[in-house]
Structure 1
Amino acid sequence: MRLTVDHVTRYTYDQPVRGVVQSHRLTPSSFEGQTVLDWRIDVSDGLAGGQFRCGAGDRIQSWSVQGPVTEITVRVRGTVETTDTAGVLKGHRETVKPALYLRDTPATQMDGALETLSAAAEGSANPLEAAHRLAAAVADAIAYRPGTTAAHTTAAEALALGEGVCQDHAHVLIAIARHREIPARYVAGYLFADAEGRAHEAAHAWAELWVPGLGWVGFDPANRCCPDARYIRLGSGFDAQDAAPIKGIARGPGQEKLDVTVAVLAAQQ
């Protein structure tokens, strides 16, 4: 499947700031199942800084904008060729050991309800089956409802609410997988459409769990599936904050307002 991405992030400030420094995880890697054909990032009045590939295999690029400035636009455009690998991440270059992803973060800390939910994996001697059971339990426990949770909602809070967005599904799955000693991490990316082919939030997130013999396998409880050719993988981290495509800081007292639009389309072959 050939997918095109147009991702625009616009920052506005109610008074000029002296400057902005950002770190971008906005360039997808090429691996089996995903090939980047072209990709471009533009930052209005921005100066590109150093870049490197982190231990998890993600490309990190720094940008700076000199002020005074009241608006910054980050635009990502590109084309990616994808194929379905049944959610298995194959040929992705990284050096971080899977056991590192057993570490909890504030967003994925356990409580009693999460421990109860993690019992869905009990009775399964097959690690892949256990991972599927956990993903299904999350999908059953949390209804997909955009706008019901916030960026800093934790896994425990989302489960208590019983509804949320893909970020919440991913955080809950990561929390209960780690509780079962299954390394798990958060993945940020794009989605062309949901399982029925209907329109969906194009900026998307899911989780990857480490399965012995297979490696990292993606699970998307929000859509009750494993990532397939409709998905573009950007990067990963311990949780949503760690895997954020854009991180940054503005120097000055101005209040920041954020507006994001993402379009993912199927291109002509």
Structure 2
Amino acid sequence: MKLLVRHQTIYRYAASAGRVAMRLKLMPVDTPAQTVLEWQVSINEVPLTAFRPNSYGEREAIWIRHDRLDNATIVAEGLVETRECHGVVGHLNSRVDPRYFLRDTRLTCASDGIAAMARDLPAQDGPLATLHALSAAVSDAVHYRAGVTTSETTAAEAFALGAGVCQDHAQIFIAAARSIGIPARYVSGYLLAGDGNALHETHGWAEAWLPSLGWIGFDPSNRVCVTERYLRLASGLDADDAAPIRGSVTVAGDIWIDADVRIAQAEEGVEQRQLQKQQQQSTSPSDPQG
């Protein structure tokens, strides 16, 4: 499947920013599940070419402006061919030992309830079956409900609330997997909706490590392992670490952020200019949690 993506994020500053620094994880890389055919990232229509490999085997860039800035428009767009691998991403080109992803963070520290959920799973036929059961248990325990959590909500808080979105589901899965000794990490990317309609936000899911298979993608929000409809951007210890855009700004006044993702199957004849036109016609903010 070939997926055509245009991801646009606009930052507007009430007062001109004196300094802006951003870390961008907006450049997908080839994996057994995807091949990048075309991709580019631009800021205020200037191509950004400073992407470099990081220790995870992915690519990121740092963008800094010291002069006054009223707005920044970041566009990531391109064409990626995806393949059905039944969730198995495999052994990626990483310099980080998978055991690193047993580390807790503020967002992924397992509460007693999360640990008990993982510990009390019915006996399974091996660790892969355990991970499938864990993904289902997270979905059962935390109902998908937008607007009740934020990007700062921890796995423990969302689990206690019993509701949340894809970020919460993924981080609860990660916390639970780590509590039973299985390395797990957060993944940011894009998902083509089941009905083929364009989405307007990024998506988040989890990957867990098994020595025999490598990394395996689980999406508790949709009760599936990742499929060819998923396009992987970046990974990290939690949603903050894997965020496509993180930054700091020196500014007096408010900051507004409008983010929009358009994704379509290229075989359907959707032209890149059509995605761009849709974004220009609609500037509604997105929920970065998915």
- For residue 148 of structure 2, what is the aligned residue in structure 1? 148
Superposed CA offset, 1:147-178 (max 9, x none): 22101000011111111110000000000000
- For residue 285 of structure 2, what is the aligned residue in structure 1? none
Q: Which runs of 4+ in 1 moved over 3 A?
A: 45-51, 196-202
* 1:108 alignment partner, SS class: coil
1:66 shift after superposition = 4.0
In structure 2, do the counterparts of structure 1 residues 76 and 48 end up closer, same or farther at CA, with 3 Å as the change threshold? closer
- For residue 230 of structure 1, what is the aligned residue in structure 2? 229
* 2:86 alignment partner, SS class: coil
* 2:110 alignment partner, SS class: coil
Q: Give % identity.
A: 41
Q: Which moved more, 1:2-11 or 1:244-253?
A: 244-253
* 2:8 alignment partner, SS class: strand
Q: Which moved more, 1:12-21 or 1:119-128?
A: 119-128
2:56 maps to a residue whose letter is A
Q: Which moved more, 1:18-27 or 1:199-208?
A: 199-208
1:83 shift after superposition = 0.8
Structure 1 regions of 5+ residues with no counterpart? none
TM-score (norm 1): 0.94
Provide the alpha-carbon RMSD of the alignment: 1.9
2:33 maps to a residue whose letter is G
In structure 2, do the counterparts of structure 1 residues 28 and 255 end up closer, same or farther at CA, with 3 Å as the change threshold? same
Alignment of 1:165-204 (within 5 A): 165-194=165-194, 202-204=201-203
- For residue 213 of structure 1, what is the aligned residue in structure 2? 212
- For residue 98 of structure 2, what is the aligned residue in structure 1? 98
Q: Which moved more, 1:110-119 or 1:168-177?
A: 110-119
Superposed CA offset, 1:169-212 (max 9, x none): 00000000000000000000000014x66765541000000113
Please identify which structure carries the higher strand content.
Answer: 1
Superposed CA offset, 1:53-110 (max 9, x none): 1111110111123431121110111000001100001363112111110000001112
1:13 shift after superposition = 1.1
In structure 2, do the counterparts of structure 1 residues 161 and 151 end up closer, same or farther at CA, with 3 Å as the change threshold? same
- Say whether residues 1:262 and 2:255 are aligned partners: no
Contact kept in structure 2, 1:120 and 1:134, CA below 8 Å: no
Q: Which moved more, 1:90-99 or 1:198-207?
A: 198-207
Contact kept in structure 1, 2:13 and 2:251, CA below 8 Å: no
In structure 2, do the counterparts of structure 1 residues 176 and 89 end up closer, same or farther at CA, with 3 Å as the change threshold? same
- For residue 71 of structure 1, what is the aligned residue in structure 2? 71
Q: Which moved more, 1:17-26 or 1:215-224?
A: 17-26
Contact kept in structure 2, 1:202 and 1:264, CA below 8 Å: no
Give the distance between the partners of 1:134 and 1:83, measured in 2 at CA. 25
* 1:268 alignment partner, SS class: helix
